[in-house]
């Protein structure tokens, strides 16, 4: 009976470690989806001359998934005339849209872009998009580096924590 309990504890701790490690691996993928949304938003705004809320809604419906629903939520919030755009954008959480894979701080290049293109004229739209794209690419690289180290660490930490708990219980 003790052996079955020990195996169960070891298995549970290892699974917890693997789940945390998967979160580290999912973050660069989610940031790449955000970068893809940014590229599609740039083409919607620059080439089709679509207003920001309609462009966000169009890109969101095209992309689907968590990224699409996050963009559609932003479009809905920006479409309401009662809220100021700055306050409205703070109410749309990236962390809740991705179930914790991304943090709200990861949306900062995107939100900074929306603030800057709201006041930019048509001839100067490319600079904010390039800046946001560079910020997201840097975040992707940092997330990949973090994923390499963090995923391995949490895999081992989960298994070793399970072994430690089993040794304490036996």
pLDDT digits (tens, 9 = 90+) for 115-167: 777 666 666 778 888 888 999 999 999 999 988 988 889 989 999 999 999 89
Residues 169 and 53 sit within 8 Å (Cβ to Cβ): no
**Distance separating alpha carbons of residues 99 and 121, to the nearest angstrom:** 36
Render pLDDT for 96-124 as a digit per residue (tens, 0 to 9): 777 777 777 777 887 888 777 766 666 67
Q: What is the chain's alpha carbon radius of gyration, rounded to the nearest angstrom? A: 21
**Distance separating alpha carbons of residues 157 and 90, to the nearest angstrom:** 35
158: Cβ–Cβ under 8 A, 6 or more apart, which residues? Answer: 13, 14, 15, 16, 17, 18, 20, 21
């Amino acid at each position: 009976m003790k052996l079955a309990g020990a195996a169960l504890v070891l298995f549970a701790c290892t699974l917890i470690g693997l789940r945390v490690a998967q979160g580290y691996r999912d973050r660069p993928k989610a940031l790449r989806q955000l970068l893809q949304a940014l590229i599609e938003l740039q083409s919607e705004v620059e080439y089709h001359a679509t207003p920001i809320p309609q462009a966000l809604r169009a890109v969101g419906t095209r992309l689907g998934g968590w990224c699409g629903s996050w963009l559609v939520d932003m479009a809905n919030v920006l479409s309401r005339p009662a809220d100021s755009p700055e306050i409205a954008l703070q109410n749309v959480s990236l962390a809740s849209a991705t179930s914790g894979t991304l943090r709200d701080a990861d949306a900062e290049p995107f939100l900074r872009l929306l603030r800057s293109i709201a006041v930019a004229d048509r001839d100067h739209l490319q600079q904010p998009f390039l800046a946001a794209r560079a910020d997201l690419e840097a975040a992707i690289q940092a997330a990949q580096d973090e994923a390499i180290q963090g995923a391995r660490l949490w895999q081992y930490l989960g298994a070793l924590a399970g072994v430690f708990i089993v040794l304490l219980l036996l």
